[in-house]
C-alpha cells in the first residue's frame, strides 16, 4: 500500500523556483502529509540551559511556531495542529499557567492578521471550561471568525485539550443524544469529536527528545507516523519540519494490511 497522504493534485507553485525549493529538496510533493500534528515540547529546558525563566522559553517558542506554519505552507500541507496547552497543564505553577493564558491571548491578537493574510483558518480543539479566562475565549472567537473563510491551511490550536477528555466528551454527547448501544460505532464516536471534519494526522512530531504522546489526539493518531526529534521547540525551524516529512516519506504505511 505504501505511503499515503498528499498535498493534492500537483505541487504548489512555491515548490518551483523559490528559496523553499532548495530546502524542499528530496521531498515528494505528491506524498506530503495532509495533516501534521506537533507536540511543542522543550521550552522550559531551552530556557533553563540559558539561565532564563521557563516563561522565556515559551516566548521563544513563538518564532518556532510561526516558522513551522510557514514551512507547512511551503509544503502545501492542508492541516497543521499544535498542542499549546493540555488538560493536565493546569498542574503547572500558577505563575506559568497565568503567563501561558496571557501569552496565548496576545499571540492571537498579534498574529491573527498575518495568518489571515496567508489564507490560514484558525481553529481550536479543547474544552472551553471556566478555567480559561474570558478574555482569551474572546480572542479565540475573534480569530475563528476572522479566518473562518480561509482554506489554504487550517491551523488547529489544541488548547485545554486532552485526548481522553475529548473521548469522554464524545461519549457524553452519545449518551445525551440517546444513541442506543448497538448504534455506537466508530462513525458515531468520530462525529462527536471536537472537530469531526478534521482528517486524522498523517504525521505527528514531538520535539525535545521525549518519546511520549502525552494525551495528544489519542483517537485521531491511531495510524499516524510518529517522528521524535531531540531539537527543543524554540530551536525548531521549517528545515526540521522538512526533515520530519522526509522521514515520513521513508515510512511504509500499511494500516493493518499487507504490502502489495
Which of 37, 42, 61, 76 contacts ligand FPP by CB under 6 A?
61
Is 116 one of the catalytic residues? no
Backbone angles phi and psi of 35, in degrees to 5: -130, 125
Minimum CB–partner distance for residue 159 and ligand FPP (Å): 9
Q: Which stretch binds ligand FPP (CB under 6 A): 38-46, 47-55, 112-120, 249-257?
A: 38-46
Q: Does residue 56 bind ligand FPP (CB under 6 A)?
A: no
Question: How many other C-beta atoms lie within 10 A of the C-beta of residue 14?
Answer: 15
Query: SS3 of 138, please?
Result: helix
Which of 36-44, 109-117, 184-192, 238-246 is the region at the interface with ligand FPP (rule: CB under 6 A)? Answer: 36-44
3-state secondary structure of 139: helix
- Based on the residue annotation, tell me whether 160 is a catalytic residue of this protein: no
Residue (24 or 84) nearer to ligand FPP, CB? 84
Q: Does 65 bind ligand FPP (CB under 6 A)?
A: yes
Burial class (CB in 10 A: 0-12, 13-18, 19+), 94: exposed
Find the binder of ligand FPP among 89, 154, 160, 224 (CB under 6 A).
89
DSSP string, 208-243: TT----TTSSTTTTTT-EEEE--S-GGG--HHHHHH
Q: What's the sign of the alpha-carbon dihedral 122, 128, 132, 134?
A: positive
Q: DSSP secondary structure string, 10-36?
A: S--GGGSSSHHHHHTTT--GGG--SEE
Compute the least distance from the CB of residue 165 to ligand FPP, in Å: 13
**CB of residue 158 vs ligand FPP: minimum separation in angstroms?**
8
With contacts defined by CB under 6 A, name the span among 9-17, 136-144, 177-185, 207-215 that binds ligand FPP: 207-215
Angle at 238 between CA 200 and CA 48, to 5 degrees: 100
Taking the C-alpha atoms of residue 124 and residue 154, their distance in angstroms, rounded to an integer, is 10
Would you say 15 or 85 has its CB closer to ligand FPP?
Answer: 85
# residues contacting ligand FPP (CB under 6 A): 18
34 binds ligand FPP, rule: CB under 6 A: no
111 near ligand FPP, rule: CB under 6 A: no
Residues listed for the chain: 260
Between the alpha carbon of residue 206 and those of residues 37, 68, 173, 179, 195, the distances in Å are 9, 13, 30, 36, 22
Alpha-carbon dihedral sign for residues 38, 44, 49, 55: positive
Span from 9-17, 85-93, 131-139, 144-152 in contact with ligand FPP (CB under 6 A): 85-93
Contact call for residue 132 and ligand FPP (CB under 6 A): no
Choosing from 116, 150, 152, 214, the residue that interacts with ligand FPP (CB under 6 A) is 214
**What are the residue numbers of the active site?**
41, 89
Binding site for ligand FPP (CB under 6 A): 39-41, 43, 58, 61-62, 65, 83-86, 88-89, 100, 210, 212, 214
Amino acid at each position: 500500500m505504501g505511503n499515503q497522504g498528499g498535498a493534492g493534485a500537483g505541487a504548489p507553485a512555491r515548490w518551483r523556483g523559490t528559496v523553499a525549493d532548495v530546502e524542499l529538496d528530496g521531498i515528494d510533493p505528491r506524498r506530503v502529509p495532509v495533516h501534521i500534528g506537533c507536540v511543542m515540547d522543550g521550552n522550559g529546558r531551552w530556557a533553563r540551559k540559558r539561565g532564563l525563566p521557563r516563561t522565556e522559553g515559551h516566548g521563544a517558542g513563538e518564532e518556532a511556531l510561526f516558522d513551522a506554519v510557514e514551512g507547512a505552507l511551503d509544503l502545501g500541507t492542508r492541516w497543521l495542529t499544535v498542542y499549546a496547552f493540555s488538560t493536565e497543564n493546569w498542574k503547572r505553577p500558577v505563575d506559568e499557567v497565568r503567563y501561558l493564558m496571557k501569552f496565548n491571548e496576545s499571540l492571537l491578537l498579534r498574529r491573527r492578521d498575518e495568518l489571515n493574510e496567508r489564507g490560514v483558518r484558525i481553529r481550536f480543539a479543547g474544552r472551553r471550561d471556566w478555567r480559561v479566562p474570558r478574555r482569551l475565549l474572546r480572542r479565540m472567537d475573534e480569530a475563528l471568525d476572522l479566518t473562518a473563510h480561509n482554506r489554504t491551511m487550517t491551523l488547529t490550536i489544541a488548547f485545554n485539550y486532552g485526548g481522553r477528555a475529548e473521548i469522554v466528551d464524545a461519549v457524553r454527547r452519545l449518551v445525551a443524544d440517546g444513541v442506543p448501544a448497538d448504534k455506537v460505532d466508530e462513525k458515531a464516536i468520530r462525529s462527536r469529536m471536537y472537530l469531526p471534519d478534521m482528517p486524522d494526522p498523517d504525521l505527528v512530531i514531538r520535539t525535545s527528545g521525549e518519546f511520549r504522546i502525552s494525551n495528544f489526539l489519542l483517537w485521531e493518531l491511531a495510524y499516524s507516523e510518529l517522528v521524535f526529534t531531540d531539537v527543543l521547540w524554540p530551536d525548531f525551524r521549517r528545515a526540521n519540519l522538512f526533515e520530519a516529512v522526509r522521514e515520513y516519506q521513508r515510512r511504509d504505511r500499511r494500516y493493518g494490511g499487507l504490502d502489495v
